[in-house]
Amino acid sequence: MGTSAGASSVDKTPFGTTQDGKAVDLYTLTNDRGASVKFIAYGGIITAINVPDRSGKLGNIVLGFKDLADYDSRSPYFGALIGRYGNRIGGAKFTLDGTQYQLAANNGPNSLHGGRKGFDKVVWTVEPLTNLSGAAARLSYTSPDGEEGYPGTLTVRVVYTLTDDNELRIDYEAKTDKPTVVNLTSHSYFNLAGDGAGGIDDHILTINADRYTPVDATLIPTGQLASVTGTPFDFRHGMPIGARIRASDPQMVYGRGYDHNFVLNRSGSGLSLAARVYEPRSGRIMEISTTEPGVQFYSGNFLDATLVGAAGRQYRQTDGFCLETQHFPDSPNKPSFPTTVLKPGETLKSTTIYKFSTDASEMP
C-alpha cells in the first residue's frame, strides 16, 4: 500500500463517523497513469473518478459531497452500491415460492433501491487487493435474513478495480441460504465535463438498445418491451441527451425526463457494450460494457438545487446522469422479464466496466 510514482496503489484515510458512531475510511485507487477512483466504506460510495480530458488534465467526473454527514442524511444515492434490489418493486411486495414478502414503500407505493436502509447506507468491509492489472479493493457485506423484508442471508462481495487502461471495473458476487431476489448496481451520477460544470444536455449518448420498458405513472414497467423507433428513447445513434428531453411523450412526462430501463441488445452472456457517452467540450468518452440485461438511464430529473456538491456548486435538474446496469425494474413481479431469483448453491456473478478515454487520438 501507499503511493509510489508510476505504480498503481491503494491508499486509505479517515473520512468521518456515521450518525450511529461507525468510523468510515476513504480509499483511493490510483493507476500507473495517475487516474484515480475514490470511494468510502459507507455504501461503497464512489466519491470521485479523476480521469483526463483531451489535454491530459485530470478532473472529477462524478457528483458527490464533501462530507460524510451529507451522504449519511440526504444523498440521492450518489455513487452508491445499490441492493438488495436496485430500482423499483411495484406495490413494495413480491411473491416467491408461494410466500408474499412485504417491503418498505419508500417511493410512493413502491420500494426503491433496497428500502429504508439499503446497501447504500451500510458500512462495508474493505480489503485492498493486489492486482497486477491496476489498483483494486474488495468490499464485503452480509445482509441478515429478513433485512428490509427480503428472505435469506445474502453474502455480497464487490470488487472495484481501476485498471492501468483507465477502466473502472466492478465485479459483483452474491450467495444466499434461502431463495431470494437480488438486483445489484452502482449509482454514480456522471458529468463528463466535470463535477459542478453545469448541465449534461450536450453529452452525446448512445445506448445499444432496440427496446425499452415503458412505465406507469409511478415508474413501474407495464411489462411491455417497446420499440425505441420513432421515440425519444432511440439512442442507437449518438444523440445529445437534451435533444428530446422536453418531448411531450407521456413516458417522458412520467419520468420528468429520462428515468427508464433499456433492454440491451446482447450477443451471449459475456460482457457487451451497453452505452457510450461523449462530452464535446472536454473530449471525454465513457464506454460501459456489462453482463447485465438492462441499463436504467436517469437524467438527474429530481435534482432541484437543494444539494451543494463537493465542488461547492448547487446541483440542479440534469446536472448529472446515471446509467445503472441492472436487471429490469419490478422483475420479481414480472415473470416474463429475465429472472432476479437467486437460490442456495448458486452464485450471482455480474460485471460492469466503465472505460474512460478522450477524442484526442481522433483529432487531426
Residues lying near ligand BGC in the complex (CB under 6 A) are found at 76-77, 219, 259, 296, 298, 302, 322, 324
Q: In angstroms, what is the minimal distance from the CB of 71 to ligand BGC?
A: 13
**Running DSSP on this structure, what letter comes out for residue 241?**
G
What cell numbers appear for 93 in the block?
411486495
| E-state strands within 83-152 | 88-89, 93-96, 99-102, 111-112, 125-131, 134-143
Q: In angstroms, what is the minimal distance from the CB of 329 to ligand BGC?
A: 8
Q: In angstroms, what is the minimal distance from the CB of 358 to ligand BGC?
A: 27
Which CB sits closer to ligand BGC, 185 or 357?
Answer: 185
Q: In angstroms, what is the minimal distance from the CB of 259 to ligand BGC?
A: 5
H or E stretch at 257: none
Instruction: Count Cβ neighbours within 10 Å for each residue of 79-90 and write b for 16 or more, e otherwise.
Output: bbbbbbbbbbbb
Which CB sits closer to ligand BGC, 162 or 215?
Answer: 215
Which CB sits closer to ligand BGC, 33 or 187?
Answer: 187
Which CB sits closer to ligand BGC, 129 or 226?
Answer: 226
Q: Active-site residues: which are they? A: 187, 324
Which residue of this chain has its Cβ atom nearest to ligand BGC in the complex?
76
Q: In angstroms, what is the minimal distance from the CB of 326 to ligand BGC?
A: 9
CA angle (255 as vertex; 202, 114 as ends), nearest 5? 110
Q: Which residues pair with 201 in a beta bridge?
A: none
List Cα–Cα distances, 120 to 5, 124, 233, 321, 344, in angstroms: 33, 9, 29, 18, 24
Which CB sits closer to ligand BGC, 27 or 262?
Answer: 262
d(CA 323, CA 262): 10
Other beta carbons less than 10 A from residue 183's beta carbon: 27
